[in-house]
Structure 1
Amino acid sequence: MTSTPSVSWRDRVRVSVTATRTRMRSAVAGALDAVARESSDLRPATASRAIPALTPLDRARFGSTALLLVGSILLGFAAYLVIASPVTFLRDQALLREELRFELANSTAPVSQFESTGELLTPGQPVALLEIDAIDLSTVIVEGTDARALQSGPGHRRDTVMPGQVGASVIFGRQAAFGGPFSRLSELDEGDRIVVTTGQGRFVFTVAGVRTGQEALPDRPASDSTLTLVTATGIPYFAEDVLRVDAVLAGNAAEAGARAFGYSALPRDELAMASRFSTGSEVAIWALLLLAAVAAMPVMRRAWGRWQAWAVGVPTTVFLGFLLFRDLSTLLPNLT
């Protein structure tokens, strides 16, 4: 009778470990195959969801959002011109009046194209005080006639002499926006008085005539000094033509100051009805920042909460909108 060979405990352990390893390898391989099959099944669906087709409802929502954004910008710009621009004009005039009063008291008010230091006058700097009792106007005249300078008040065209000096002086002023200081200029009649105070004294002019467009100069008394006030005609904020009021000095003219350039060197954006297109890049920058601030509002709301997002987002949006509309208004004709 043949005896069965005995199996040691080491052999039994070795066989058990080998079997366990085999079962684990099979299980892992089966799991990997299942994952691979599931991934291959999901991949087409994921790819199809990456760029979904726009439904008619999506297109309608996109169009309505774009129209709402454009409408909000246009409405905000209109509100800026009608409500905010007069406020900024009054603020600027108050500051300019104090500055001009100080310079007149100290005999440092400019009387030529140059500062006392020998540098050209800075556009927007106060140079004179204009008073017309017939239309209840009292306003500070600034240097320069581009759209930005005329936001603060009527502007002296830089290629002409100062009011009251020997020669012709030209003053531009807005018809409607930024306080519309020259809105009633068409009401002036021949013989009305215009008083201008500069660093050389007080000068009284008499209106010789009012003309529009390319009408010829009116007959006027001989004078060494003339003054022309220029603004726009037509519906407010929609300039159509140019209105000019011609006046002559009633007394003696002052000596003209030194001049660095004439009409041929005057920038085009300082001519009548010109726009300041050089601010186009600034308008683009403020517009992008405003859009970014509006887009960030939902993100801030999820991160900080509703009221915190409003507390930060609304002032930022209003401030950026103000800067955008301020520069956007310079693209309109400077006499608007």
Structure 2
Amino acid sequence: MRFRGVDNFRHDQPQRVGLLITNLGTPDAPTPSALRRYLGQFLSDPRVVEAPRLLWWFVLHGVILRIRPRRSAEAYASVWGERGSPLMYHTEDQCKALAARLRDQYGEDLIVDFAMRYGAPSIAARLDRLQQQGVTRLVVVPLYPQYSGSTSASTFDALSADFRRRRWLPELRFVMQYHDFPPYIDAMATRIERHWAEHGRADKLIFSFHGIPKRYLLAGDPYFCQCHKSARLLAERLGLKGGSWMVAFQSLFGREEWLKPYLAERLKTLPGEGTKAVQIFCPGFSADCLETIEEVGVENRDYFLEAGGERYEYISALNAEPAHIDALVALVGKQLQGWDLAGNDRAALATTRERAMSLGAGN
């Protein structure tokens, strides 16, 4: 195996700190061919679908990738804008806002970038770019507040796979979860309170999270518990009383049992129980995407109204709102503790290069 090195490396290269934020990913375009590539990569991840590999390969390539790409392309087309996929441009905006804030705080030797676990820009491509800029210490923040093997651990898998082929590894700090981080709770509360100030409150506030198969929970995945803790802390911060809020899970896929209660099923029964107005917020989503905009914002709205509901509101994700950026800056600040960001004395670097050259180094 050949290991990747650093192009044009020099011994007087300043040693920089990198911050890489990551999210799930998005297709390149709202077309069946682009969706087939994206879903093929996503659904081939053994962290996402824990099933016998050979059997799943036949199901994926023989059934799912023949049917689902066209349906998914139509859904993506409904949310695609001038800047492309919502998840892509919201993540890019978060990256730019973080870079501006952290540059003011830590200087030019902290470099901020973003990557997607599936699709482009890939984690491997962004790691290459960071290393070529002299990053020798790296903080990775997957923008999944609640840990799951299918999200946070999958991101670590991608890092590990890349590192196994890299000659020079950076020091690494990896944020596994921040589901109970107070600034994150405050940022969500601020977003909801602003919505209330503009639109008033509903009968019930629903905290909806992406679902996973129940067997993942039974196998030890902490995601379910962390979702409930985030919801409880947020409800406490908002001063909500029991009965005025609830937790649900969305995006059921396949026939096996997933985490309950299912959002779609509860929305169909709530009007019959006297709940005529609901507001939905998704604490597990750092940025709006197809799932929040189309599934939660449109599809589930129809379920509720058709069942007799009268008012349905989706409260948008935190995206690049100032309170969210404040929370991420605080989270990154904890990770940077102990790393000196002012150690690139140019005279000392020149001396280091001279010594290396005297010992036979090329640059």
TM-score, normalization: structure 1?
A: 0.25
TM-score, normalization: structure 2?
A: 0.24
Higher relative CO (Cα under 8 Å, sequence separation at least 6) belongs to: 2
**Which structure has the bigger radius of gyration?**
1
Q: Which has the higher strand share?
A: 1
